[in-house]
Chains A and B, each alone.
Chain A
Amino acid sequence: MSTSLTQKLTATAASPASAGRGRGAGRRTDPGTIALGSRRARPAYVALAPYFLLFAIFSAIPIGFTMFLAFTDWRGIGDWNLVGLTNFGYLLEDPLFWKALSNTLILWVMTTIPCLTLATLVALGLNSAVRFSTVYRVAYLVPNITSLVAMGILFSSIFSSNFGIVNALLNSVGLESVRWLQSEWGIKVAISTLSAWSFVGYNAMIILAGLQSVEKQVYEAAQLDGAGPVRTFFSITVPMLRPIIMFITIMSTIGSLQSFTEAQVMTSSQGGGASSAGGVGNSGLTLVLYFYSVAFQENRYGYGATIAWGVMVVVILFTIINWVATRERSR
């Protein structure tokens, strides 16, 4: 299942002699693959075409153009000058880029850990087959399908300094108010709370699916061996869920590295430019928010594209780390 359909098709199309015999020939090389004659494969390509057409227009071509733009000083309209590697030099020395990178990584940790912990608890709860479990499943998934922008506005009210619910709760138990959206850690807490909240339900559903695929007999065997619920959870459930947890971790890593909306909605930039984006001290400035501000607010499309390259390098690095980690585990 690891190789994609296209790879299979190209692999078989490359050896028409064996493929010409039909299924049997193909099966001998790879039992999972059904070989298609080159003529017979054509309809499959046609079936795939819409996706690749859309992918080319909305992804591949823009990605290529972004790569090109990184070498220019384009301001979004009119002519551009090729500036070679100048933008990349700026990027390495840009304190805001590094700030945005560290913010993004901190937010990733602050979002993923509470989110996965909560999601596991929710999934365990849902799995214990209480009444109305469908209602709960829907309820937990609702935050995930609610518009992030709308939720961002709501959360900035919840976390507002003087009149927010969070501060009202703090005050009611005798604690001092916190200026959440005007302090370095406050902004991060607010943003990660929003992202974690909107993804708990989604992750819980996936974990729930994983939990339900664990064979009952395994649990029964554990019970016979005298394992308690805690022991069962750590020795049976967690190891059985490992692939699911890896999947969720990879998905949230990619999601977090691309995080934008939460920070954009919850922090306002007062000067208008990228320097003041992401709130006080740029504490909520994520990588994607940074390149959005540079390109679309400051009209520096060339440099914005360079930052996008930086984001891509980081995403690739993390993908490699994840990939290596998954491979180690599955061996």
Chain B
Amino acid sequence: MIRTPFSRRTALGFGAATSSLALLAACSTSTAGGGGDGGATGEGTTLWYWPEGFDDTIVEDIRTALPDANFEQIIQGGDFKQKLQTTLQAGSGLPNLTGIKGEDIAHFSEVADFFVDLNTLGAEDHKGDYVAWKWEQATTKDGRQLGIPIDIGPTALFYRFDIFEQHGLPSTPEDLAAAIRDWEALFELGKQLNKADPDTYIIRNLSAVFDIGWRQSGAAFIDEDGTFIGDDEHIRKAWDLSIAAQEAGINAALESNTPDVAAAVAAGKLPVDFGASWHLADLVVDAPDTSGKWHVCEHPGDATNLGGSFLGIPSGSENHEQSFEIILRLLNAQNQAIEYTHSGNFPANTGAFDSPELTGEVEFLGGQVAAEVFARAAEYVRPLYEDSRDGIVNGPYYAELSLVEASGKDPETAWKDAVSEAQRLAEQNGVTVS
């Protein structure tokens, strides 16, 4: 209850009002300065990156090579895309350079004006140094270059060679790769393993097969003219492949990124897993005790790409030339080779492929030179047109596949439901549905 007179309360009120204003002001300055550290508006050159970060030695290399730039890496936790997007829209507090994740590049391509067209800074001259299909992923339809690729995610097959050996199956990477050139052969191996040990499966879940299946076709769900192609033959083939895995009884039906998957991997009940080179880090975390018992080889069909990011320059920032110089140095062959040992991210810079870092043996993979497999896989990845709305439209296929494996939904009904839901979403989002 307020009583009069209340001079003390008035004073308190004013105090509170002032301090809350100060608080708000503090909020705004800290974002503008990119963490109160000089930031974009000040003297330093800032890079926004997600928590993985570039290795300290690389950051140090930039600082020594370009002392005037006063380079600084700022780690942005949480939802990186959201933070970048909000800052771009606000137009202030921008970093000089920023990471752009592979899954967001199609989205940002739609608003290419927010980024510097790197071709205006001479990016074209460096195109040959990087994997071509990855470079093109950051090229807009009208030929602007939004970013320079950091890493690529060519997919391969990780497997427990000791378990394969134990059951008399091909266990060296060369033998296994030769034995499983098509999916049927791999599924057949899976059946043999499952017969030998009924708790052993070779497929994590149907989504994992579908993921690789549709990417192998070289086309996604929306074509370059903005037409829905999710009911075409190439998607249907990927779908049928997933269903075949289900019917072969080799599907563990475990949800990705759950304790269940980790436990199954650690227990050797999932002795096969698809993934890009960065997936090795997941295996190391999930099953540290199985170190030295894994190998990696080509999976059936052509390799596909999962993940891989870019570095770009927001157009609202200052001193674009210097930022571009830093990008090229961050992503040169030597630094990318260091980055491979730091994070397991496979370099997009082809010059790094022959470096001692990449040709080194990987202890977790039983001393195998894993980079050989990924470098070879990178040659087979087909360029894929990605529409920013692909992620919306392909959702129903994954949702229906999980119904097939979890509750035994009839695959044919599931396909029809997936297509009709995808078409509804496509129409809603301005995709032409024929």
Interface positions of A (Cβ within 8 A of B):
5, 22-23, 34, 36, 40, 43-44, 46-50, 53-54, 57, 73, 75-78, 90, 95, 156-157, 160-164, 179, 181-184, 268-276, 279-282, 296-300, 303
The one of A34, A272, A279, A303 that contacts B103, using a Cβ cutoff of 8 Å: A272
A75 with B103: CB separation less than 8 A: no
The one of B13, B388, B399 that contacts A46, using a Cβ cutoff of 8 Å: B13
The one of B1, B10, B392, B425 that contacts A47, using a Cβ cutoff of 8 Å: B10
A163 with B260, Cβ < 8 A, contacts A75-B107, A298-B391 known: yes
Q: Quote the shortest CB–CB distance from B111 to chain A (angstroms).
A: 4
Which residues of B sit under 8 angstroms from A164, Cβ to Cβ?
259
A299 with B388: CB separation less than 8 A: yes
Q: A50-B20, A54-B20, A73-B430 are in contact. List 11 more A-B contacts (CB 8 A).
A: A44-B2, A50-B16, A78-B114, A268-B257, A270-B402, A271-B399, A275-B396, A276-B396, A279-B255, A281-B406, A281-B407
Q: CA A90 – CA B12 in complex, angstroms?
A: 50
Q: Quote the shortest CB–CB distance from B207 to chain A (angstroms).
A: 5
Partner-binding segment picked from B38-46, B58-66, B82-90? B82-90
B395 with A275: CB separation less than 8 A: yes
Q: CA A297 – CA B394 in complex, angstroms?
A: 13
Which residues of B sit under 8 angstroms from A73, Cβ to Cβ?
430
B107 with A280: CB separation less than 8 A: no
Interface string of B249-260 (1 = CB under 8 A from A): 000011111111
Which residues of B sit under 8 angstroms from A280, Cβ to Cβ?
402-403, 406-407
Which residues of A sit under 8 angstroms from B402, Cβ to Cβ?
182, 270, 276, 280-281
Q: List 16 A-B contacts (CB under 8 A).
A: A47-B9, A47-B16, A47-B17, A54-B24, A76-B89, A77-B89, A160-B258, A160-B263, A181-B258, A271-B391, A271-B394, A273-B392, A275-B399, A276-B395, A280-B407, A299-B107
Q: Quote the shortest CB–CB distance from A63 to chain B (angstroms).
A: 18
Q: CA A157 – CA B16 in complex, angstroms?
A: 45
Q: CA A197 – CA B114 in complex, angstroms?
A: 46
Whether a CB of chain A sits under 8 angstroms from the CB of B3 is yes
Q: Quote the shortest CB–CB distance from A72 to chain B (angstroms).
A: 13
Whether a CB of chain A sits under 8 angstroms from the CB of B231 is no
B3, B403, B406: which has the most chain A beta carbons within 10 Å? B406
The one of B2, B107, B398 that contacts A270, using a Cβ cutoff of 8 Å: B398
Q: CA A315 – CA B322 in complex, angstroms?
A: 52
Which residues of A sit under 8 angstroms from B399, Cβ to Cβ?
271, 275-276, 281-282
Q: Quote the shortest CB–CB distance from A105 to chain B (angstroms).
A: 21
A160 with B260: CB separation less than 8 A: yes
Whether a CB of chain A sits under 8 angstroms from the CB of B338 is no
Q: CA A99 – CA B360 in complex, angstroms?
A: 52
In this complex, what residue of B is CB-closest to A296?
Answer: B82
Which residues of B sit under 8 angstroms from A54, Cβ to Cβ?
20, 24
Whether a CB of chain A sits under 8 angstroms from the CB of B121 is no
A183 with B395, Cβ < 8 A, contacts A34-B3, A54-B20, A270-B402 known: no
Q: Quote the shortest CB–CB distance from B221 to chain A (angstroms).
A: 11
B79 with A296: CB separation less than 8 A: yes
A53 with B406, Cβ < 8 A, contacts A78-B114, A163-B263, A299-B107 known: no
B6 with A268: CB separation less than 8 A: no
Q: CA A268 – CA B256 in complex, angstroms?
A: 8
A77 with B114: CB separation less than 8 A: yes
The one of A34, A90, A299 that contacts B4, using a Cβ cutoff of 8 Å: A34
Whether a CB of chain A sits under 8 angstroms from the CB of B428 is yes
In this complex, what residue of A is CB-closest to B112?
Answer: A78
The one of A53, A77, A160 that contacts B20, using a Cβ cutoff of 8 Å: A53
Q: Quote the shortest CB–CB distance from A82 to chain B (angstroms).
A: 15
B263 with A47: CB separation less than 8 A: no
The one of A34, A95, A162, A282 that contacts B264, using a Cβ cutoff of 8 Å: A162
Which residues of B sit under 8 angstroms from A270, Cβ to Cβ?
205, 207, 255-256, 398, 402
In this complex, what residue of A is CB-closest to B107?
Answer: A299
Whether a CB of chain A sits under 8 angstroms from the CB of B55 is no
B14 with A46: CB separation less than 8 A: yes
In this complex, what residue of A is CB-closest to B399?
Answer: A276
In this complex, what residue of B is CB-closest to A299?
Answer: B107
Which residues of A sit under 8 angstroms from B14, Cβ to Cβ?
46
Interface string of B228-267 (1 = CB under 8 A from A): 0000000000000000000000000111111110011000
Whether a CB of chain A sits under 8 angstroms from the CB of B289 is no
In this complex, what residue of B is CB-closest to A153?
Answer: B259
Q: Quote the shortest CB–CB distance from B2 to chain A (angstroms).
A: 6
Whether a CB of chain A sits under 8 angstroms from the CB of B21 is yes
In this complex, what residue of A is CB-closest to B207?
Answer: A270
Q: Quote the shortest CB–CB distance from A12 to chain B (angstroms).
A: 11
